[in-house]
Structure formats: structure tokens, C-alpha cells
Amino acid sequence: MIIQPKTRGFICTTAHPEGCAKQVEEQVDYVKAQPAIKGPKNVLVVGASTGYGLASRITAAFGSGANTVGVFFDKAAEGQRTASAGWYNSAAFEQEAQAQGLKSFSIVGDAFSDGIKSATIELIKAELGTVDLVVYSVASPRRTHPVTGETFSSVIKPVGEAYTNKTLNFHTGEVSFTTIEPATEDEVTQTIAVMGGEDWRLWIQQLSEAGVLAQGATTVAYSYIGPEITHAIYREGTIGKAKNHLEQTAKELHGLLSRNGGRAFVSVNKALVTQSSSAIPVVPLYISALYQVMKEKGLHENCIQQIYRLFSEHLYPAGESALDGSALIRIDDWEMRADVQEEVMKRWSELETGNVTELADLEGYREDFFQLFGFKTAGVDYEADVDPAVAIPNQS
């Protein structure tokens, strides 16, 4: 079938298998062109199929020669419906990894469930023995609690009072003002239950109790802080409360793991176009302006560049580790540089529909968005007939 993008707001309901494979290949090539990392050898990535999790799996495998287990929630193709992008990405990843002689396994299902945790533990026991790095990169709108069976939904809202700011419809290029009403207390609690650290802690506890965490194992999860203008909707909003919980969890896990020489961190990453970030009001306009400024200054990085830097400079540096023992690693340092932020803020006050293509990188945003689903990728013939049914080699 001929696969074209079909968008509904910030969602694209189709994905292109060859485009996704090409995107994965480009990330693999980037990592292979960098100096090798003396890093982990057996890695579990939870939330491994897109965005920062996929970049982590690729960096571990092709930067450090690691065997990997990826856990993710994606759908296979069915009839005329294409698979989701994460499915095609993972199929391409597995092929590349196996061609390189690396072991790789994919577990498709709900990472929040006990069943998927047990299946992952059994797989690690059978195939790898232990893992020495666990990356937790799940971004989800809902979570069913494994013990109580209660389903929680996360919302992206301010806390305390309504918030008004500029936002962007990146399809049309229209800049308008949006007002978001504050979250209720229950919405804050539910967002923390979905995006806070509880599930990460459960993973580490269960892996540890099952004896599949190697001596000295490291774990890392991802967070965001961002500039003043997005604080009300992000860092001081519902999602920020969840990130506070995640960061607190890192301290607890560090206490637990350090008894065996292990470590737990939260890495604060740069704002980038992913399926999750495109759903947050205000953020796509901020990212478009940020991209333009960072590209002009030669500072722009994508997911794979960010994660390669995280591994090679922070988690597994060649020389002495610069980590100061605090649970937070900042790879958002270039985004938060004073000169970058000053320029973005200057543009922010002027941004409107008439000047958005001049002051912000709307084209770059759109390109990144469509590339998430395997579209707008050089070297792919989008008029050609392709089979949407693609198997993931080592999937359970």
C-alpha cells in the first residue's frame, strides 16, 4: 500500500516502515561515527521505541556494544492500518543490532503491569543473566496500578491558577493565545501516579529482588525543567509535580543501589519534538523558537546527540567522572545557556502568526514531527507500494 501521513492535531495515525527504518539507520550511523564508549554491556530500556528511549537503546548498543532488552507499548499493522512508528523503529533496531552481532530482544506490552515486569525478568535470566544499566523513558497518558487495578490519567495543566500564553498550531502556522484552567487536586495526584517515580521504583525493586541487577548497576530516568515562560504549564504544573516525584525517587533508588556500588540518576534533557512533547500546549512554539536560536548558534542537538553526550560525558566518561553525587544530570545546559534563553525570550514577546516563520524554526519543527512517523525522510520513495506488515525479529 502507499502510506501517507494522516494527522489529527498533534497525532499522526499512520507511520512509514521504510522511513522509520531510515531514521533509525541515521541514528545508528551517528553513534558509530563517534568514539566508542566504555559503558554498559547488558541494558534494559523501558519505553524503548521512540524519542529519548530509542536513542538510549541505540547509544547503548552501537556506542558501547551492549546487548539490549527494549520494553514498549506499540501496535503491529492490521489490515489497512499501519503499525505505530515505535513498532517499525524497533523492527529496524533489532535488524541493525543483530547484523552487528549484538543480542537484542523486544517485549511489547504495558510496562506498568506486573506481567510485563516478570516476563522481562525471565528473559534477562535466560538470555543475559543480569543487566548493568536500566533506562526508564516511559511517557504515557495513563497507567493502571498493578496492585489496586485503578487506572490513572495524566493531564497537562497549571496548578493553582489559570495560565494564558501563546501557542502554535504547527500545521497551519497560526499563533494564538490559549488559556488552560488549573488542575484539581485529584488531577495532580493522578498525573503523579502516571508520570512520577513509582513505576520506576517498582521496576528497580523487582529486578533487584530477582537478582538480575548486576553489581554496580546504574539506572537513569529523564526529566525536563525549561524556561520561565513554560514553568506554569510544565515545571510548576501537574507534570512538574510528577517530575519532582521522579527526582525524589532517584535519590531513594540511589540510596538503595549504592549499597552494591550502583547509581541512580535523573537526566534533565533538552526540549525536543517527540510524540509526547507535541501534545503540550505552548511548548511547540517555544521549541520552534529554541530550534532557530540554537541552530543559529551551532548548538542544536537531537535525541541521539543528547543521549550520546549523556553516556559519553556523564554516565560513562573516559576520564574521571564529573558527577558530583547529586541525583540530577543536566544535559539541558546548552538550552538553558543565558545567551540562548535571552534570545528566545526576546523573540517570544514578538512572535505572532505573521512572523513565526522568520523568528522561529516552524519548518524544522514540522520536519521533525513528520520524521517521528517516518515521513519527510530523504531517500524514501513515498509513492512506492510498501508492505505495512513488518515483523520485529526477537519480539515477545
Q: Where are the alpha helices (DSSP H) in 7-112?
A: 17-32, 51-64, 85-99
Is residue 74 a contact point for ligand NAD (CB under 6 A)?
yes
In the 8-state DSSP scheme, what is residue 65? Answer: -
Is residue 73 a contact point for ligand NAD (CB under 6 A)?
yes
Among 218, 277, 288, 305, binds ligand NAD (CB under 6 A): 277
**Whose Cβ is closer to ligand NAD: residue 109's or residue 393's?**
109
Contacts of 134 (CB under 8 A, 6+ apart): 43, 44, 45, 46, 203, 204, 207, 213, 217, 218, 219, 220
Helix (H, G, I), strand (E, B) or coil at 286: helix
Residues 226-265 that bind ligand NAD (CB under 6 A): none
Is residue 71 a contact point for ligand NAD (CB under 6 A)?
yes
Contacts of 375 (CB under 8 A, 6+ apart): 4, 5, 12, 16, 19, 382
Which member of 234, 286, 308, 316 is catalytic? 234
Q: Say if residue 129 is exposed, middle or buried (CB neighbours under 10 Å; 0-12, 13-18, 19+).
A: exposed
In the 8-state DSSP scheme, what is residue 75? Answer: -
Least Å distance, CB 274 to ligand NAD, is: 3
Is residue 301 a contact point for ligand NAD (CB under 6 A)?
no
Consult the annotation and say whether 147 binds a ligand.
Answer: no
Consult the annotation and say whether 50 binds a ligand.
Answer: yes
Is residue 224 a contact point for ligand NAD (CB under 6 A)?
yes
Least Å distance, CB 184 to ligand NAD, is: 22
Helix (H, G, I), strand (E, B) or coil at 272: coil
163 is catalytic: no
Least Å distance, CB 180 to ligand NAD, is: 18
Q: Which of 300, 295, 292 is nearest to 359 (CA)?
A: 292
Least Å distance, CB 156 to ligand NAD, is: 11
Least Å distance, CB 86 to ligand NAD, is: 5
Instruction: Select the residue whose beta carbon is closest to ligand NAD and give its number.
Output: 51
Is residue 39 a contact point for ligand NAD (CB under 6 A)?
no
Phi, psi angle pair for 394, to nearest 5° = -115, 60
Q: Which stretch binds ligand NAD (CB under 6 A): 66-74, 211-219, 338-346, 360-368?
A: 66-74
Among 276, 312, 341, 371, binds ligand NAD (CB under 6 A): 276
Residues 114-143 that bind ligand NAD (CB under 6 A): 137-140
In the 8-state DSSP scheme, what is residue 182? Answer: P
Is residue 292 a contact point for ligand NAD (CB under 6 A)?
no
Helix axes 17-32, 85-99, angle to 10 degrees: 50
**Whose Cβ is closer to ligand NAD: residue 65's or residue 141's?**
141
Consult the annotation and say whether 51 binds a ligand.
Answer: yes
Q: Is residue 388 within 8 Å of residue 1, measured between CB atoms? A: yes
**Whose Cβ is closer to ligand NAD: residue 64's or residue 277's?**
277
Least Å distance, CB 259 to ligand NAD, is: 26
Q: Say if residue 159 is exposed, middle or buried (CB neighbours under 10 Å; 0-12, 13-18, 19+).
A: buried
Is residue 170 a contact point for ligand NAD (CB under 6 A)?
no
Range 73-104 burial, b when 16+ CB lie within 10 A, else e:
bbebbeeeebbbbbbbbbbbbbbbbeeeebeb
Among 223, 312, 341, 371, binds ligand NAD (CB under 6 A): 223
Q: What is the rounded CA–CA span in Å between residue 390 and residue 387?
A: 7
Consult the annotation and say whether 47 binds a ligand.
Answer: yes
Annotated binding residues, written as ranges, equal 47-52, 110-111, 138-139, 224, 243, 272-274
By annotation, the residues acting in catalysis are 234
Residues that bind ligand NAD (CB under 6 A): 47-53, 71-74, 86, 110-112, 137-140, 222-224, 269, 271-272, 274-277
